[in-house]
Amino acid sequence: MIKIAIMGYGVVGSGLVELIDENREAKKCNEEIVITSILVRNKEKHKNKNHSEVLTTDIEEFFSKESDIVVEVMGEITKSLIYVKRALNLKKHVVTANKDLLAEYGEELFELANENGVALKFEASIGGGIPVIKSLIESLEGNNINSIKAILNGTTNFILTKMDKEKLSYEEALKEAQELGFAEANPEADVMGYDAARKLSLLSTLAFRKKVSWKNINIQGITEVESVDFDYADKINCKVKLLCISNNSDEGVYATVKPVLVENESVLAQINNEVNIVIFNGDSIGEIILIGKGAGKMPTGSAVYADVLDIVNKRFTKITAFKREEAKIIENLQGECSAVLRIENSKEQDIIKKCANEFTFIQVLQTQIEGETGVLVKANSEIEIDRFIDGLLANSYVKSIKKIIKID
Protein backbone atom coordinates (compact mmCIF):
# COMPACT_ATOMS: atom_id res chain seq x y z
CA MET A 1 0.00 0.00 0.00
CA ILE A 2 1.28 3.45 -0.97
CA LYS A 3 0.16 6.49 1.00
CA ILE A 4 -0.24 9.75 -0.79
CA ALA A 5 -0.88 13.24 0.57
CA ILE A 6 -2.01 15.99 -1.77
CA MET A 7 -1.52 19.76 -1.44
CA GLY A 8 -4.29 21.44 -3.45
CA TYR A 9 -7.73 20.19 -4.53
CA GLY A 10 -8.35 22.45 -7.49
CA VAL A 11 -8.63 21.44 -11.14
CA VAL A 12 -5.50 19.28 -11.34
CA GLY A 13 -5.85 17.88 -7.82
CA SER A 14 -9.44 16.81 -8.54
CA GLY A 15 -8.35 15.14 -11.78
CA LEU A 16 -5.63 13.24 -9.94
CA VAL A 17 -8.01 12.08 -7.20
CA GLU A 18 -10.51 10.84 -9.81
CA LEU A 19 -7.79 8.83 -11.53
CA ILE A 20 -6.52 7.33 -8.28
CA ASP A 21 -10.06 6.29 -7.32
CA GLU A 22 -10.99 4.95 -10.77
CA ASN A 23 -7.82 2.93 -11.15
CA ARG A 24 -8.07 1.58 -7.60
CA GLU A 25 -11.60 0.35 -8.32
CA ALA A 26 -10.51 -1.20 -11.61
CA LYS A 27 -7.58 -2.80 -9.72
CA LYS A 28 -5.28 -1.66 -12.49
CA CYS A 29 -2.43 -0.61 -10.21
CA ASN A 30 -0.36 -3.38 -8.60
CA GLU A 31 -0.21 -1.41 -5.33
CA GLU A 32 -3.22 0.13 -3.62
CA ILE A 33 -2.87 3.91 -3.49
CA VAL A 34 -4.48 5.47 -0.41
CA ILE A 35 -5.06 9.21 0.00
CA THR A 36 -4.16 10.14 3.59
CA SER A 37 -4.50 13.91 3.54
CA ILE A 38 -5.55 16.76 1.24
CA LEU A 39 -4.45 20.30 2.07
CA VAL A 40 -6.96 22.98 1.07
CA ARG A 41 -7.56 26.64 1.86
CA ASN A 42 -11.26 26.21 2.57
CA LYS A 43 -12.72 22.88 3.70
CA GLU A 44 -16.29 24.05 3.14
CA LYS A 45 -15.67 24.49 -0.59
CA HIS A 46 -14.67 20.86 -1.03
CA LYS A 47 -16.96 19.16 1.50
CA ASN A 48 -19.06 17.40 -1.14
CA LYS A 49 -16.10 15.89 -2.97
CA ASN A 50 -14.71 12.42 -2.39
CA HIS A 51 -12.22 12.10 0.47
CA SER A 52 -13.68 15.07 2.34
CA GLU A 53 -12.81 13.20 5.56
CA VAL A 54 -9.08 13.77 4.96
CA LEU A 55 -9.30 17.48 4.12
CA THR A 56 -7.24 19.82 6.23
CA THR A 57 -6.37 23.50 6.18
CA ASP A 58 -3.52 23.01 8.62
CA ILE A 59 -0.07 22.24 7.25
CA GLU A 60 1.02 20.68 10.56
CA GLU A 61 -1.94 18.32 10.45
CA PHE A 62 -1.15 17.61 6.78
CA PHE A 63 2.40 16.56 7.61
CA SER A 64 1.30 14.62 10.69
CA LYS A 65 -0.49 12.11 8.45
CA GLU A 66 1.57 9.23 7.09
CA SER A 67 2.60 9.52 3.45
CA ASP A 68 5.14 8.07 1.03
CA ILE A 69 4.41 10.58 -1.70
CA VAL A 70 3.48 14.24 -1.44
CA VAL A 71 1.80 15.81 -4.47
CA GLU A 72 1.99 19.59 -4.84
CA VAL A 73 -0.74 20.98 -7.09
CA MET A 74 -1.41 24.27 -5.33
CA GLY A 75 0.22 26.36 -8.04
CA GLU A 76 1.71 28.90 -5.64
CA ILE A 77 5.36 29.73 -5.24
CA THR A 78 6.31 30.87 -1.74
CA LYS A 79 4.23 28.34 0.18
CA SER A 80 4.90 25.58 -2.34
CA LEU A 81 8.64 26.09 -1.94
CA ILE A 82 8.48 25.80 1.86
CA TYR A 83 6.20 22.75 1.81
CA VAL A 84 8.02 20.91 -0.97
CA LYS A 85 11.35 21.41 0.81
CA ARG A 86 9.83 20.15 4.02
CA ALA A 87 8.46 17.06 2.24
CA LEU A 88 11.80 16.32 0.60
CA ASN A 89 13.63 16.73 3.91
CA LEU A 90 11.18 14.24 5.42
CA LYS A 91 12.38 11.86 2.66
CA LYS A 92 9.04 11.81 0.91
CA HIS A 93 8.87 11.54 -2.85
CA VAL A 94 7.36 14.66 -4.37
CA VAL A 95 5.30 15.12 -7.53
CA THR A 96 4.59 18.66 -8.67
CA ALA A 97 2.90 20.34 -11.63
CA ASN A 98 4.47 23.68 -10.74
CA LYS A 99 6.73 24.99 -13.52
CA ASP A 100 7.06 28.41 -11.90
CA LEU A 101 8.43 26.82 -8.73
CA LEU A 102 10.93 24.71 -10.69
CA ALA A 103 11.96 27.55 -13.01
CA GLU A 104 12.84 29.63 -9.95
CA TYR A 105 14.07 27.03 -7.45
CA GLY A 106 14.79 23.92 -9.53
CA GLU A 107 18.47 23.79 -8.63
CA GLU A 108 17.82 23.84 -4.88
CA LEU A 109 14.90 21.42 -5.03
CA PHE A 110 16.47 18.74 -7.23
CA GLU A 111 19.62 18.93 -5.10
CA LEU A 112 17.53 18.38 -1.99
CA ALA A 113 15.70 15.44 -3.59
CA ASN A 114 19.02 13.84 -4.56
CA GLU A 115 20.51 14.39 -1.10
CA ASN A 116 17.50 12.71 0.47
CA GLY A 117 17.42 9.88 -2.06
CA VAL A 118 13.86 10.59 -3.15
CA ALA A 119 12.22 11.43 -6.46
CA LEU A 120 11.04 14.91 -7.46
CA LYS A 121 8.81 14.38 -10.48
CA PHE A 122 7.23 17.07 -12.62
CA GLU A 123 5.80 15.66 -15.87
CA ALA A 124 2.64 17.79 -15.56
CA SER A 125 4.61 21.03 -15.35
CA ILE A 126 5.22 21.13 -19.11
CA GLY A 127 2.76 20.25 -21.86
CA GLY A 128 -0.05 18.93 -19.64
CA GLY A 129 -0.57 15.27 -20.42
CA ILE A 130 2.20 14.97 -23.05
CA PRO A 131 5.04 12.73 -21.84
CA VAL A 132 7.64 15.41 -22.54
CA ILE A 133 9.91 15.02 -19.53
CA LYS A 134 9.95 11.24 -19.49
CA SER A 135 10.71 11.07 -23.21
CA LEU A 136 13.49 13.59 -22.85
CA ILE A 137 15.26 12.25 -19.78
CA GLU A 138 14.66 8.54 -20.30
CA SER A 139 14.01 7.72 -23.97
CA LEU A 140 16.42 10.30 -25.41
CA GLU A 141 19.05 9.86 -22.69
CA GLY A 142 21.67 8.51 -25.10
CA ASN A 143 21.28 11.52 -27.41
CA ASN A 144 22.84 14.94 -27.49
CA ILE A 145 19.88 17.24 -28.05
CA ASN A 146 20.70 19.91 -30.62
CA SER A 147 17.51 21.89 -30.57
CA ILE A 148 14.00 22.31 -29.21
CA LYS A 149 11.04 23.88 -30.97
CA ALA A 150 7.78 24.01 -29.07
CA ILE A 151 4.38 25.58 -28.55
CA LEU A 152 3.98 25.41 -24.78
CA ASN A 153 1.35 27.98 -23.92
CA GLY A 154 -2.25 27.07 -24.68
CA THR A 155 -3.68 30.52 -23.97
CA THR A 156 -1.60 32.31 -26.59
CA ASN A 157 -2.03 29.48 -29.09
CA PHE A 158 -5.80 29.74 -28.59
CA ILE A 159 -5.70 33.50 -29.20
CA LEU A 160 -3.53 33.16 -32.31
CA THR A 161 -5.77 30.39 -33.67
CA LYS A 162 -8.84 32.61 -33.20
CA MET A 163 -7.10 35.58 -34.85
CA ASP A 164 -6.19 33.37 -37.80
CA LYS A 165 -9.33 31.34 -38.37
CA GLU A 166 -11.99 33.85 -37.29
CA LYS A 167 -10.16 37.02 -38.30
CA LEU A 168 -10.48 38.47 -34.81
CA SER A 169 -8.27 41.27 -33.50
CA TYR A 170 -5.90 40.49 -30.66
CA GLU A 171 -8.19 42.24 -28.18
CA GLU A 172 -11.29 40.36 -29.37
CA ALA A 173 -9.51 37.02 -29.27
CA LEU A 174 -8.12 37.68 -25.78
CA LYS A 175 -11.60 38.62 -24.56
CA GLU A 176 -13.03 35.38 -25.94
CA ALA A 177 -10.22 33.37 -24.36
CA GLN A 178 -10.98 35.00 -21.02
CA GLU A 179 -14.72 34.33 -21.33
CA LEU A 180 -14.06 30.66 -22.11
CA GLY A 181 -11.62 30.30 -19.22
CA PHE A 182 -8.59 29.81 -21.50
CA ALA A 183 -7.03 33.05 -20.26
CA GLU A 184 -6.71 34.58 -16.79
CA ALA A 185 -8.27 37.93 -15.87
CA ASN A 186 -4.65 39.12 -15.69
CA PRO A 187 -3.21 37.37 -18.74
CA GLU A 188 0.28 38.87 -18.46
CA ALA A 189 2.24 35.68 -17.71
CA ASP A 190 0.74 34.05 -20.78
CA VAL A 191 0.51 36.82 -23.40
CA MET A 192 3.90 38.30 -22.52
CA GLY A 193 5.50 34.88 -23.06
CA TYR A 194 6.75 34.40 -19.49
CA ASP A 195 4.93 31.11 -18.93
CA ALA A 196 6.31 29.66 -22.17
CA ALA A 197 9.81 30.92 -21.32
CA ARG A 198 9.76 29.22 -17.89
CA LYS A 199 8.83 25.94 -19.56
CA LEU A 200 11.49 26.40 -22.24
CA SER A 201 14.03 27.09 -19.50
CA LEU A 202 13.25 23.75 -17.79
CA LEU A 203 13.30 21.79 -21.06
CA SER A 204 16.52 23.41 -22.29
CA THR A 205 18.29 22.82 -18.97
CA LEU A 206 17.35 19.13 -19.05
CA ALA A 207 18.04 18.71 -22.76
CA PHE A 208 21.35 20.56 -23.01
CA ARG A 209 22.62 19.51 -19.57
CA LYS A 210 23.48 23.10 -18.71
CA LYS A 211 21.42 25.66 -16.91
CA VAL A 212 19.28 27.93 -19.07
CA SER A 213 17.62 30.41 -16.69
CA TRP A 214 14.33 31.76 -17.91
CA LYS A 215 15.43 35.32 -17.25
CA ASN A 216 18.17 34.86 -19.85
CA ILE A 217 15.69 33.88 -22.52
CA ASN A 218 14.89 36.47 -25.17
CA ILE A 219 11.13 36.86 -24.72
CA GLN A 220 8.57 38.56 -26.93
CA GLY A 221 4.88 37.92 -26.31
CA ILE A 222 1.91 38.14 -28.65
CA THR A 223 0.60 41.57 -27.63
CA GLU A 224 2.08 43.16 -30.76
CA VAL A 225 0.67 40.56 -33.17
CA GLU A 226 -1.84 42.18 -35.53
CA SER A 227 -4.43 40.80 -37.95
CA VAL A 228 -2.34 42.08 -40.82
CA ASP A 229 0.52 39.77 -39.76
CA PHE A 230 -1.77 36.84 -40.57
CA ASP A 231 -2.49 38.38 -43.99
CA TYR A 232 1.22 38.54 -44.71
CA ALA A 233 1.65 35.00 -43.37
CA ASP A 234 -1.12 33.80 -45.65
CA LYS A 235 0.59 35.25 -48.73
CA ILE A 236 3.63 33.05 -48.12
CA ASN A 237 1.61 29.97 -47.03
CA CYS A 238 2.44 30.36 -43.36
CA LYS A 239 0.78 30.70 -39.99
CA VAL A 240 1.83 32.82 -37.01
CA LYS A 241 2.69 30.83 -33.87
CA LEU A 242 4.24 31.78 -30.52
CA LEU A 243 7.21 29.44 -30.66
CA CYS A 244 9.72 28.45 -28.02
CA ILE A 245 13.05 27.86 -29.72
CA SER A 246 16.35 26.82 -28.24
CA ASN A 247 19.47 25.61 -30.00
CA ASN A 248 22.61 24.25 -28.39
CA SER A 249 26.05 24.54 -29.94
CA ASP A 250 29.67 24.85 -28.87
CA GLU A 251 29.24 28.63 -29.03
CA GLY A 252 26.39 28.61 -26.56
CA VAL A 253 22.63 28.42 -26.33
CA TYR A 254 20.19 30.48 -28.41
CA ALA A 255 16.89 30.58 -26.56
CA THR A 256 13.85 32.64 -27.43
CA VAL A 257 10.09 32.81 -27.14
CA LYS A 258 8.53 34.88 -29.92
CA PRO A 259 5.86 34.96 -32.62
CA VAL A 260 7.25 33.41 -35.80
CA LEU A 261 6.02 32.21 -39.17
CA VAL A 262 5.69 28.45 -39.78
CA GLU A 263 4.83 26.84 -43.10
CA ASN A 264 1.26 25.63 -43.65
CA GLU A 265 2.58 22.23 -44.69
CA SER A 266 4.32 21.61 -41.39
CA VAL A 267 3.22 19.83 -38.26
CA LEU A 268 3.63 23.05 -36.24
CA ALA A 269 1.01 24.78 -38.38
CA GLN A 270 -1.60 22.13 -37.46
CA ILE A 271 -1.29 22.80 -33.72
CA ASN A 272 -4.37 24.80 -32.81
CA ASN A 273 -6.11 26.16 -29.73
CA GLU A 274 -4.97 24.65 -26.42
CA VAL A 275 -2.84 21.92 -27.99
CA ASN A 276 0.90 21.89 -27.23
CA ILE A 277 3.79 20.50 -29.24
CA VAL A 278 7.42 19.79 -28.48
CA ILE A 279 10.00 18.93 -31.15
CA PHE A 280 13.35 17.61 -29.95
CA ASN A 281 16.21 17.17 -32.37
CA GLY A 282 18.69 14.59 -31.11
CA ASP A 283 21.96 13.61 -32.75
CA SER A 284 21.02 9.92 -32.98
CA ILE A 285 17.28 9.95 -33.10
CA GLY A 286 16.69 12.92 -35.41
CA GLU A 287 13.44 14.78 -34.92
CA ILE A 288 10.99 13.51 -32.31
CA ILE A 289 7.65 15.30 -32.09
CA LEU A 290 5.22 15.07 -29.17
CA ILE A 291 1.74 16.59 -29.31
CA GLY A 292 -1.21 16.70 -26.93
CA LYS A 293 -3.45 18.81 -24.75
CA GLY A 294 -1.30 21.20 -22.78
CA ALA A 295 -3.72 21.82 -19.95
CA GLY A 296 -7.01 20.78 -18.42
CA LYS A 297 -8.18 18.73 -15.46
CA MET A 298 -7.82 15.21 -16.84
CA PRO A 299 -4.82 15.59 -19.19
CA THR A 300 -2.77 17.25 -16.46
CA GLY A 301 -4.20 14.91 -13.81
CA SER A 302 -3.12 12.01 -15.99
CA ALA A 303 0.47 13.30 -16.09
CA VAL A 304 0.56 13.69 -12.29
CA TYR A 305 -0.89 10.20 -11.91
CA ALA A 306 1.79 8.79 -14.27
CA ASP A 307 4.45 10.35 -12.03
CA VAL A 308 2.83 8.75 -8.99
CA LEU A 309 2.82 5.36 -10.75
CA ASP A 310 6.49 5.79 -11.64
CA ILE A 311 7.22 6.20 -7.95
CA VAL A 312 4.96 3.28 -6.99
CA ASN A 313 6.82 1.13 -9.56
CA LYS A 314 10.20 2.51 -8.45
CA ARG A 315 10.97 3.91 -11.91
CA PHE A 316 13.25 6.72 -10.73
CA THR A 317 15.39 9.12 -12.70
CA LYS A 318 17.88 11.34 -10.91
CA ILE A 319 17.93 14.94 -12.16
CA THR A 320 21.31 16.65 -12.02
CA ALA A 321 21.10 19.17 -14.89
CA PHE A 322 20.01 22.12 -12.74
CA LYS A 323 23.21 22.36 -10.76
CA ARG A 324 25.30 22.65 -13.93
CA GLU A 325 26.85 25.97 -14.89
CA GLU A 326 24.74 28.62 -16.59
CA ALA A 327 24.76 28.32 -20.38
CA LYS A 328 26.33 31.09 -22.42
CA ILE A 329 23.48 32.77 -24.28
CA ILE A 330 23.76 33.68 -27.98
CA GLU A 331 21.58 36.58 -29.06
CA ASN A 332 20.81 35.69 -32.68
CA LEU A 333 19.64 32.67 -34.61
CA GLN A 334 22.61 31.03 -36.34
CA GLY A 335 22.53 29.96 -39.97
CA GLU A 336 20.27 31.00 -42.84
CA CYS A 337 17.30 33.10 -41.83
CA SER A 338 14.12 34.20 -43.58
CA ALA A 339 11.89 36.96 -42.27
CA VAL A 340 8.98 39.14 -43.23
CA LEU A 341 9.83 42.82 -42.82
CA ARG A 342 7.02 45.37 -42.50
CA ILE A 343 8.64 48.67 -43.29
CA GLU A 344 6.76 51.90 -42.66
CA ASN A 345 8.26 54.34 -45.17
CA SER A 346 7.64 56.97 -47.80
CA LYS A 347 9.85 55.61 -50.59
CA GLU A 348 8.71 52.11 -51.48
CA GLN A 349 10.75 51.71 -54.68
CA ASP A 350 13.93 52.70 -52.90
CA ILE A 351 13.24 50.23 -50.07
CA ILE A 352 12.65 47.39 -52.50
CA LYS A 353 15.86 48.22 -54.36
CA LYS A 354 17.81 48.24 -51.10
CA CYS A 355 16.35 44.85 -50.11
CA ALA A 356 17.16 43.39 -53.53
CA ASN A 357 20.75 44.59 -53.26
CA GLU A 358 21.21 43.24 -49.76
CA PHE A 359 19.57 39.80 -49.69
CA THR A 360 20.01 36.53 -51.57
CA PHE A 361 16.23 36.32 -52.03
CA ILE A 362 13.36 38.78 -51.71
CA GLN A 363 9.63 38.63 -52.37
CA VAL A 364 7.54 41.79 -52.23
CA LEU A 365 4.23 41.16 -50.46
CA GLN A 366 1.20 43.18 -51.54
CA THR A 367 -0.53 45.05 -48.73
CA GLN A 368 -3.45 47.43 -48.27
CA ILE A 369 -1.62 49.37 -45.60
CA GLU A 370 -0.84 52.90 -46.68
CA GLY A 371 2.85 53.72 -46.45
CA GLU A 372 3.95 50.18 -45.62
CA THR A 373 6.16 47.89 -47.68
CA GLY A 374 6.04 44.18 -46.91
CA VAL A 375 8.98 42.04 -48.00
CA LEU A 376 9.98 38.45 -47.40
CA VAL A 377 13.78 38.36 -47.29
CA LYS A 378 16.29 35.54 -46.96
CA ALA A 379 19.75 36.13 -45.53
CA ASN A 380 22.78 34.15 -44.40
CA SER A 381 22.00 34.94 -40.78
CA GLU A 382 19.59 36.84 -38.56
CA ILE A 383 22.36 39.31 -37.71
CA GLU A 384 22.57 40.28 -41.38
CA ILE A 385 18.85 41.13 -41.35
CA ASP A 386 19.16 43.06 -38.09
CA ARG A 387 22.07 45.12 -39.43
CA PHE A 388 20.06 45.93 -42.54
CA ILE A 389 17.14 47.03 -40.36
CA ASP A 390 19.42 49.26 -38.28
CA GLY A 391 20.79 50.78 -41.48
CA LEU A 392 17.31 51.49 -42.85
CA LEU A 393 16.11 53.02 -39.60
CA ALA A 394 18.94 55.53 -39.86
CA ASN A 395 17.17 56.85 -42.98
CA SER A 396 14.79 59.72 -42.36
CA TYR A 397 12.07 58.27 -44.60
CA VAL A 398 11.80 54.97 -42.66
CA LYS A 399 9.53 55.34 -39.63
CA SER A 400 9.46 51.82 -38.18
CA ILE A 401 10.24 48.22 -39.05
CA LYS A 402 8.59 45.08 -37.72
CA LYS A 403 10.39 41.79 -38.27
CA ILE A 404 8.85 38.31 -37.99
CA ILE A 405 11.24 35.46 -38.66
CA LYS A 406 10.16 32.34 -40.52
CA ILE A 407 11.14 28.96 -39.08
CA ASP A 408 11.75 25.88 -41.24
Site for its own copies, residues 101 to 140, rule: CB under 8 A: 123, 129-131, 134-135, 138-140
Please select the residue that binds its own copies; options are 292, 332, 350, 352, rule is CB under 8 A: 292
Widest distance between CA atoms in the chain: 76
The verdict on whether residue 12 carries a ligand-binding annotation is: yes
Helix (H) or strand (E) holding 253, with range, is strand 252-263
* Contact status, residue 407 vs residue 261, Cβ threshold 8 Å: yes
Residues 301, 15 contacting (CB under 8 angstroms): yes
Q: How far is the CB of 314 from its own copies (least distance, A)?
A: 7
Binding residue (CB under 8 A) for its own copies from 60, 265, 325, 370: 265
The smaller minimum CB distance to its own copies, of residues 88 and 306, is found at 306
Q: Which of 189, 267, 364, 407 contacts its own copies by CB under 8 A?
A: 267
How many angstroms separate the CA atoms of 385 and 294, rounded? 34
**What's the min distance (Å) between Cβ of 23 and its own copies?**
6
166 annotated as belonging to a binding site for a ligand: no
Residue with Cβ nearer its own copies (50 or 143)? 143
Binding mask 307-326 for its own copies (x = CB under 8 A): --xx--xxxxxx--------
x/- mask, its own copies, residues 3-22, rule CB under 8 A, reads: ------------x---x--x
Q: Which of 149, 199, 258, 293 is catalytic?
A: 199
How far out from the chain centre does Cα 96 lie?
16
Among residues 117, 286, 371, 391, the one that binds its own copies under rule CB under 8 A: 286
Q: Using CA atoms, how far apart are residues 335 and 148, in angstroms rounded to an integer?
A: 16
- Angle (deg, nearest 10), helices 297-312 and 11-25: 60
Find out whether 184 is annotated in a ligand binding site: yes
Q: Which is nearer to its own copies, 129 or 187 (CB)?
A: 129
Which lies closer to its own copies via its Cβ, residue 23 or residue 116?
Answer: 23
- 256 forms beta bridges with 218, 245
Q: Is 99 labelled as part of a ligand binding site?
A: yes
Residue 285 as a binder of its own copies (CB under 8 A): the answer is yes
Instruction: Compute the least distance from the CB of residue 262 to its own copies, in Å.
Output: 11
What backbone torsions phi and psi does residue 350 show, to the nearest 5 degrees? Answer: -65, -40
**Given 80, 247, 302, 345, the residue binding its own copies (CB under 8 A):** 302
Q: How far apart are alpha carbons 375 and 358 in whole angstroms?
A: 12
Asked if residues 130 and 271 have their Cβ atoms less than 8 Å apart, the reply is no
Quick check: 154 binds its own copies (CB under 8 A)? no
**Ranges within 26-45 binding its own copies (CB under 8 A):** 28, 30
Cα separation of 313 and 337, whole Å?
Answer: 47
**CB-nearer residue toward its own copies: 35 or 362:** 35
Q: Is 328 a catalytic residue?
A: no
Chain centroid, CA 187 distance in Å: 15
Of the residues 293, 342, 354, 402, which one makes contact with its own copies according to CB under 8 A: 293
The sign of the CA dihedral 202, 204, 205, 211 is negative
Residues 262 and 358: their CA atoms lie apart, in Å, by 24
Is 15 part of any known ligand binding site? no
Q: Which residues of 288-325 are buried (b: 16+ CB within 10 A; e: fewer)?
A: bebbbbbbbbbbbbbbbbbbbbbbbeeeeeebebbeee
Least CB distance to its own copies at residue 291 (A): 4
Q: How many residues does the chain have?
A: 408
Question: What is the rounded CA–CA span in Å between residue 27 and residue 76?
Answer: 33
Q: Which residues bind its own copies (CB under 8 A)?
A: 15, 19, 22-23, 28, 30, 123, 129-131, 134-135, 138-143, 265-267, 270, 282-293, 296, 298-299, 301-303, 305-306, 309-310, 313-318
